Amino acid sequence: MSRATIINGAYSAINTNWLASNGFAWDMVKTEQLARSFDEVSAAEKPWCGVYPGVETYEYMPSNRMACNLELILLIHVDEKTLSARITKIEQAIDGIVKALRQEVLCAYGAISTTLTSIETDEGDPGAYNQGSLVARLTVRYLRDEPTS
């Protein structure tokens, strides 16, 4: 399995609205394989989700294999008029991420396991000017036996 397959798989699952089609509250208007700050994303593009890799660590194993732990970051920006609406939208995104992990969505792309390691939000900021953001960090474990990523 390759690193690119895992990253592309996560993007594909989110971009094709896998979550929405399976009954989860997940209605991203736009998904990209990059990080953008909230002011770089227009209101018409929100809710917006960026999927990109973070740190990757390796454990060398017998038979030229490696167990890889890839940090995958989901950056979500919402635009809602009220604080309660922002909180609701962010909570729906968190619920969608958790439910997708329970369904083991990334196993279809070769992941052995996916662990939600942290979530950070600004949902309680009353001066956020209709903006809300969420950063979710996942650790995706997979086996690599190919020399290229």
**pLDDT greater than 60 at residue 19:** no
| pTM exceeding the 0.95 threshold for the entire prediction | no
Confidence of residue 124 (pLDDT cuts 50, 70, 90): low
- Contacts of residue 47, defined as CB under 8 A and 6 or more positions apart, other chains included, come to 27, 28, 29, 76, 77, 78, 79, 89, 93
For the chain, list the strands marked E by DSSP: 30-32, 48-61, 65-79, 113-121, 131-144
Q: According to the model, what pLDDT value does residue 10 have?
A: 83
Q: According to the model, what pLDDT value does residue 21 have?
A: 59
Task: State the amino acid at position 115 in one-letter form.
Answer: T
